[in-house]
Structure 1
């Protein structure tokens, strides 16, 4: 994909080693005003190459180099071990000082652990109809929001409280169907605007760059890349991503530097009864790496997971969770079926609940139903 028709009025093309970089009118104006520019670096080939090329474009446009810096969100234990060094070297290659930020409450592993713990507590209190698994997903990418966006953007505002800020992000439309709609630039939501006037303009200069261009550019400029590519992965980010391909996740599982994280995640699969990806258990990727005790725990967790899914599928379909749940109050017979399924699922996880009879189940859902209707009426 090259250029969307509705963008023709606002973009300019620049050759900086790639076939073209995109520049919209709002970004051009901010550059002309010497706005601070933050290069978001993950360590992957796209962020490294596009940041490097964009630095050259900024030089062409007369943007002052002392108004640029690189920023990286450290995700903790789930990072490839080479990522910190790669990011430092990438920042040096574009001539920008590096800022490293982290979520102060948790890393990705502890966030998944905590999500499952809280899900169990909510299930005990009958605040959820189905047990909630630990993992993020394509439809619920809280990992990206909490570990990157909600850490990087506030840091930019803290450093530049009264200025418009340009955040350079190396997304490419070729990467996925969803990313085909990536704009050249966008103003971030109002929550990232201060009364004093600061706001963040996210710029995607490499939206139309092709993958073959990226690899050629990295080689031509001898740009630093992490070991994951040498091992054969197609993308770089978290060592283990819920959206990763079978190729990438298999390589990650067998990389010696990821062994501790791999075993931690398989242990969480076993204890939660939820597979790391919707159609794939991480523990099945490299079973030869599992200690005998963990392999046995995983087999038990997989069996419990299959039973849990059957139990949840047997529940009244029109009582399942949707926005505004619960939509109605179950009959006493339906409440009895819910009680039976819940009792077995709670036994799998050694959970306890104050709702131990069909009458109590029905009364609890009726209570939640009344609360929800009051909210909707307010």
Structure 2
């Protein structure tokens, strides 16, 4: 690997025995890239190491396109990386749509499941730091599926730009870990942020404009669940984000769930909203506080565990659940079912029976029997979602 700066010395690349053996055997190497600085550094480090050890296997770059939430420059940066190193770029996408579509679909599903008492409380539509389906569903799953399709039956080394300096959780990450048919490799695990930018500059490439032009500390989605306040404000200041911003705030207003738990995205740049959306957001904040107060009355033991009830409520508990559901449904204008104590108890019994069938049979959708209202299990709306 040739750097443009003669004074730059590349930091060590993190390698362990599993990675060494796979690379020595000529395993295909896929480098995941988002357009952010760490994935750029991962490409620089990985390609340099592969050249150094004279790796003979295939090399590809893989970018997961998340749709409208992506910065305009992200794919361009990935394409520049591919051209610079003469490596094929594979771009994958979730067939059901991008991340914004996933958030919106999740809210529709939450409403349907609540109305059918498949969940006791309303489920937020947004991904969270503890539940990052934005990464698992839209990146990890689609990338690994493509790698298995591209390299069937082979052990693939999948390099990513994870660095220990980024967070306490990432600080505990190993150099590599194994999955079926896959080694996840973190070659820049011990690099610092200064070393990352130095490597990009020395390579002759440019970092994503969000860093030095928009003055953001991190780059992922235009508005990321992990972003701090200044980064959200910097993102909202860019004209390319304004349509997405309003669409995301619309989902906040419809759902009554703030984008980052207690932080409402609509408060970041209220001047972009217009009178109608501003009023809807204010109403959503009131609705959110009322919902929290109402749902706080539900005893923890009546909440579902892994999507299923653990017992049937007693009469007094069923009366409470019916009251809570009626109040939340009225607050949102939902056409919800199971709003009487008897209906609530019958629904819990119904779901408990279905749970037993699922646990008893390998193919639960073929389970015999009918529900209390005469439907078959397959006719239950939302059960299999």
Same fold, TM exceeding 0.5? yes
For 1:227, the equivalent position in structure 2 comes to 209
Secondary structure in structure 1 of the residue aligned to 2:191: coil
Alignment of 1:213-252 (within 5 A): 213-230=195-212, 231-252=214-235
After superposition, what is the alpha-carbon deviation per residue over 1:136-177, rounded to whole angstroms, capped at 9, x for unaligned?
112211111111011111111111113221111111011101
1:25 aligns with 2:7: no
Unaligned runs of 5+ in 2: 1-7, 362-385
| Equivalent position to 1:268, from 244, 251, 256 | 251
Contact 1:48 1:223 in 2 (8 A): no
Count of aligned positions: 353
Would you say the 8 A contact 1:49–1:223 is kept in 2? no
Residue in 2 that maps onto 1:70: 61
Separation of aligned partners in 1, 2:317 and 2:33: 52
1:153 aligned onto 2:156 = no
Q: CA deviation at 1:227?
A: 1.9
Matching residue of 1:103: 94
Say if 1:52 and 1:93, in contact at 8 Å, map to a contact too: no
Please give the alpha-carbon distance, in whole angstroms, between the structure 2 residues aligned to 1:53 and 1:364. Answer: 56
Does residue 42 (structure 1) correspond to residue 34 (structure 2)? The answer is yes
Query: CA contact under 8 A between 1:89 and 1:224: conserved in structure 2?
Result: no
For residue 281 of structure 1, the aligned residue among 252, 256, 264 is 264
SS, match of residue 60 in structure 2: strand
Match of 1:193 in 2: none
Shift of 1:377: 6.8
Deviations 1:232-281 (CA, angstroms, capped at 9, x unpaired): 11111111111222222221122111111100000000000110111200
The CA distance in 1 between the partners of 2:257 and 2:281, in whole Å, is 10
- Residues 17 and 53 in structure 1, CA contact (< 8 A), matched pair in contact too: no
State which of 39, 43, 48 in structure 2 corresponds to 1:56. 48
Q: What is the match of residue 327 of structure 1?
A: 310
Residue in 2 that maps onto 1:295: 278
Q: How far apart in 2 are the matches of 1:339 and 1:328?
A: 16
CA distance in 2, matches of 1:289, 1:281: 14
Matched position secondary structure for 2:207: coil
Q: Is the deviation greater in 210-219 or in 344-353?
A: 344-353
Contact 2:119/2:307, CA 8 A, preserved across alignment: no
| SS of corresponding position for 1:38 | strand
Unaligned regions of 5+ residues in structure 1, if any? 1-15, 191-198
Q: Give the SS at the match of 2:86.
A: coil
What are the Cα deviations for residues 47-68 of structure 1, in whole angstroms up to 9, with x where unaligned?
A: 102211221111110113x721
**Alpha-carbon separation, structure 2, partners of 1:240 and 1:324:** 29
Q: How does 1:72-91 map to 2 (within 5 A)?
A: 72-91=63-82
- Once the two structures are overlaid, the 10-residue window that deviates more, 355-364 or 82-91, is 355-364
CA distance in 1, matches of 2:187, 2:276: 50
Tell me, what secondary structure is at the counterpart of 2:250? helix
Q: 1:165–1:376: structure 2 CA closer, same or farther, 3 Å change rule?
A: closer
- What does residue 165 of structure 2 align with? 174
TM-score by length of 2: 0.87
Residue 369 in structure 1 maps to residue 352 in structure 2: yes
SS at match of 1:82: helix
Match of 1:341 in 2: 324
* Matches of 2:273 and 2:149, distance apart in 1: 45
Q: How big is the shift at 1:222?
A: 2.8
- Name the SS for the 1:21 alignment partner: coil
In 2, Cα distance between the equivalents of 1:377 and 1:103?
33
Give the deviation of 1:373 after TM superposition: 5.0
1:124 partnered with 2:115: yes
**What is the deviation of 1:376?**
5.5
Instruction: Tell me the TM-score normalised to structure 1 length.
Output: 0.89
Match of 2:239 among 256, 263, 270: 256
CA distance in 2, matches of 1:209, 1:277: 29
